[in-house]
A and B are shown apart, each in its own frame.
Chain A
Amino acid sequence: MSIFSLKRKSLSDVFFDIFIYGTCIIMFLAVAYPLWFVIIASVSDSGMVASGQVLLFPKEFSLFGYKEIFSDSRIWNGYKNTVVYATLGTTVNLLLTIPAAYVLSRYEFKARRLLMFFFIFTMFFNGGLIPTYLLMKDLSLINTMWVFIFNPWTVNVFNLIIARTFFEHTIPKEMYEAAAIDGCNHFRFFSQIVLPLSKAVLSVIALYYLVYHWNNFFTGLIYVRDSGIQPLQIILRDILISNQVFGEGAGTGGADGGYAQRYADQIKYGVIIVSTLPVLVIYPFMQKYFEKGVMIGSVKG
């Protein structure tokens, strides 16, 4: 009997594996191909890309797009600004969000329902652009780097809810009660027990905030007029738009248009790569916190 069941189980496991890996391969191809396409399109002749001749390998290879992007001196400044805003911003975001999420996860905290509603309400209702702009103006945040860090998205309620849900279901009520008996207060419990147990969710929330700062384009657009403090995304958009116009030509009288036509799209695809690469590098560092058992290990260790 036991041999039988063992055999049957491994057989079903084999089917299971085939199913899993099959799905993975399909998913991988479905995602990877368009991405590969972006890469080859960024170094190929735009006309050939547009007419569907570039499928698997680059054609008429050239690095013109990248040369054009990096020849713009503003881009390094943009990188610097974005890195500063993203690190500083994410730190502030986490300092505000994570303690709040912990508090809201405590069942004995009587104001939790009320405060939860207080936060969620802002996900739906907002005063609109104009009153927000006036507020920023009154706070003298317009045209300063602080507007990237303190704005209506500083406490992202979605992230707050995610973190709270996580705390609720991984930090049992009894844990604090036990710690309290040992004379541990909330500050200590939170910093010495809760935080080490929550690396996975901390890294997710940090990643969410970081990527938000990295891609944030709207804040710079509306609240900042000094080009010296604009983030990368605004500068890339400027580059993108000026080259798009080259391609369009009409009314600008682009007579031979050879330059324009061939390279406008190269820049478009190049910009994706230039703006995405740095965030990609971060992901593997975060990923290690998702591995199974990290949490329990840290408790025991």
Chain B
Amino acid sequence: MAIIKMETKSSDLTIITKPKKDTIFNTFKRDYQLWLLILPAIICVGIFNYIPMYGIQLAFREYDFTAGLTGGEWVGLKYFIQFVNSHLFYDLMRNTLMISITTIVVGFPAPIILALVINQIRVQRAKRVLQTTVYLPHFISIVVLVGMMNVILTPSGIGGNVMSAIGLGDINLLASVKTFIPVYVLSDVWQHVGWNSIIYLAALSAVDPQLYDSAKVDGASRWQIIRNVEIPAITPTIVILLILNMGTIISTGFEKIFLMQNSLNLPISEVIETYVYKIGIVSNQFSYAAAIGLFNTLINFSLLVAMNYLAKRTSRISLW
């Protein structure tokens, strides 16, 4: 308390004397309106997100119903060690990383390109039709999407016919270790590219028309306008989204992989999430599942912190 008091006092002084560095405390009075604006969000997140966090310690304890979540026996890193020593650990990590990295490499640029292309269309009606169409697949539920893939890509379906037409007829798109990742990633792009491009389109709409005008006056070609006007306009969004994406590098879409799994692609399709699901269902291994989850989170979070640092150093854009 004393410290805070001192701070406020000194901030009162700064007005008269030489400018001192602003801190959270001495600007509080000045920014009270800003605090009021953000307070509801802080309260909401505090209640609904932070209060349950005591549950994280389950990863270090045995689950004991009668003693409550925080009352079980402390077992430290037992479950982390169990996971790392698991026979499947290496395969799970490899599959998870391969799938999520491919998803980012292919799936991240796609909506950016789409947004730039859509923005180039001059015919308003065509633009609207295309935009509405590509955004539609986002609403198809995963169960149905996988069902459609089964019908379309099966050897006797359209996909299978195309494959045999190009001389790859003996590859079953749905049941091959080689095709699992491409099929997974491309269907993902197909489903979300339109939806994900919305945010870039919104950013593009904020470009000052005067910039376009002056670029035209300078005789810039359309390609040059894209490169020098539009891409810089959406760069902050791109960087922020990239940082966030990197922070999910060892997470994959559970449900879709689970539904696409079959015994033929299992060597490549078993990922951390599906494995946690299986051990969670067969026996109530709450602590083990919590430990694997936390392991996942820690890796993701450190990647996010690292990416954020990198972005800050190179482009001065950062999350915090």
Q: Is the CB of A96 within 8 A of B22?
A: no
Q: Is the CB of B52 within 8 A of A276?
A: no
Q: Is the CB of B194 within 8 A of A31?
A: yes
Residue of B117, B144, B157, B202 near A269 (CB, 8 A) is B144
Q: Nearest chain A CB to B32's CB is how many angstroms away?
A: 9
Q: Nearest chain A CB to B43's CB is how many angstroms away?
A: 9
| Complex contacts, A190 vs chain B, CB 8 Å | 37
Residue of A32, A51, A106, A272 near B141 (CB, 8 A) is A272
| Complex contacts, A119 vs chain B, CB 8 Å | 41, 45
Q: Is the CB of B157 within 8 A of A52?
A: yes
Q: Is the CB of B41 within 8 A of A99?
A: yes
What secondary structure prevails in chain B residues at the interface with A?
helix
Q: Is the CB of A295 within 8 A of B205?
A: yes
Q: Is the CB of B22 within 8 A of A200?
A: no
Q: In the complex, which residues 126-142 of chain B have their Cβ closer than 8 Å to any Cβ of chain A?
A: 126, 128-141
Residue of A50, A118, A125 near B297 (CB, 8 A) is A125
Given contacts A96-B41, A131-B54, A131-B69, contact A35 B133 (CB under 8 A): yes
A6 to B164, CA, bound (A): 48
Residue of A100, A158, A215 near B38 (CB, 8 A) is A100
Q: In the complex, which residues 1-53 of chain B have their Cβ closer than 8 Å to any Cβ of chain A?
A: 22-24, 27, 31, 33-35, 37-38, 40-42, 44-45, 47-53
Residue of A24, A116, A139 near B117 (CB, 8 A) is A24
Q: In the complex, which residues 290-306 of chain B have their Cβ closer than 8 Å to any Cβ of chain A?
A: 290, 293, 297, 300-301, 304
Task: Annotate A113-124 by CB proximity to B: 1 below 8 A, 0 otherwise.
Answer: 111111110111
Q: Is the CB of B31 within 8 A of A110?
A: yes
Which residue in chain B gives the minimum CB-CB distance to A49? Answer: B151
Residue of B42, B134, B136 near A27 (CB, 8 A) is B134
Task: Annotate B102-128 by CB proximity to A: 1 below 8 A, 0 otherwise.
Answer: 000000000000100111110000101
Q: Is the CB of A131 within 8 A of B33?
A: no
Given contacts A34-B152, A52-B157, A269-B144, contact A128 B52 (CB under 8 A): yes
Residue of A103, A125, A161, A292 near B34 (CB, 8 A) is A103
A134 to B40, CA, bound (A): 22
B199 at the interface (CB under 8 A from A): yes
Q: Is the CB of B56 within 8 A of A128?
A: yes
| Complex contacts, A12 vs chain B, CB 8 Å | 221, 223
Given contacts A13-B222, A272-B144, contact A122 B50 (CB under 8 A): yes
A280 to B195, CA, bound (A): 12
B258 at the interface (CB under 8 A from A): no
Given contacts A27-B134, A111-B24, A135-B48, contact A125 B205 (CB under 8 A): no
A292 to B124, CA, bound (A): 11
Q: Is the CB of B34 within 8 A of A186?
A: yes
Which residue in chain B gives the minimum CB-CB distance to A111? Answer: B24
| Complex contacts, B201 vs chain A, CB 8 Å | 290
Q: Is the CB of A292 within 8 A of B205?
A: yes
A181 at the interface (CB under 8 A from B): no
Q: In the complex, which residues 203-236 of chain B have their Cβ closer than 8 Å to any Cβ of chain A?
A: 203-210, 219, 221-223, 236
| Complex contacts, A251 vs chain B, CB 8 Å | none
**Number of contacting residues on A, CB 8 A?**
104
Q: Is the CB of B203 within 8 A of A276?
A: no
B162 at the interface (CB under 8 A from A): no
Q: Is the CB of B144 within 8 A of A268?
A: yes
Q: In the complex, which residues 146-174 of chain A have their Cβ closer than 8 Å to any Cβ of chain B?
A: 150-152, 154-155, 158, 160-162, 165-166, 168-170
A259 at the interface (CB under 8 A from B): no
Residue of A95, A135, A272 near B140 (CB, 8 A) is A272
| Complex contacts, B120 vs chain A, CB 8 Å | 16, 20
A5 at the interface (CB under 8 A from B): yes
| Complex contacts, B54 vs chain A, CB 8 Å | 127, 131
A211 to B198, CA, bound (A): 13
B309 at the interface (CB under 8 A from A): no
B156 at the interface (CB under 8 A from A): yes
B171 at the interface (CB under 8 A from A): no
Q: Is the CB of B44 within 8 A of A295?
A: no
Q: Is the CB of A165 within 8 A of B202?
A: no
Which residue in chain A gives the minimum CB-CB distance to B226? Answer: A16
B147 at the interface (CB under 8 A from A): yes
Q: Nearest chain B CB to A50's CB is how many angstroms away?
A: 6
| Complex contacts, B136 vs chain A, CB 8 Å | 31, 35, 276, 280
| Complex contacts, A290 vs chain B, CB 8 Å | 198, 201-202, 204-205
Which residue in chain B gives the minimum CB-CB distance to A21? Answer: B121
B319 at the interface (CB under 8 A from A): yes
Q: Nearest chain A CB to B3's CB is how many angstroms away?
A: 16
In the A-B complex, list the 5 residue pairs whose CB atoms are closest, starting with the nearest: A127-B52, A127-B55, A131-B55, A116-B320, A100-B41
**Chain A residues proximal to chain B, CB less than 8 Å:** 5, 9, 12-13, 16, 20-21, 23-24, 27-28, 30-32, 34-35, 37-38, 49-52, 55, 95-97, 99-100, 102-104, 106, 108-120, 122-128, 130-132, 134-135, 139, 150-152, 154-155, 158, 160-162, 165-166, 168-170, 185-187, 190, 200-201, 203-204, 207, 211, 215, 240, 265, 268-269, 271-272, 275-276, 279-280, 283-284, 287, 289-296
Q: Please list 28 pairs of residues, one from A and one from B, whose beta carbons are closer than 8 Å in the complex, sorted by A's number.
A: A9-B221, A13-B221, A21-B121, A31-B134, A34-B152, A38-B144, A49-B151, A97-B41, A103-B37, A108-B22, A118-B45, A122-B49, A127-B51, A130-B55, A130-B58, A130-B69, A131-B69, A132-B48, A151-B48, A154-B44, A155-B44, A160-B41, A161-B244, A166-B202, A269-B144, A276-B136, A287-B131, A292-B119
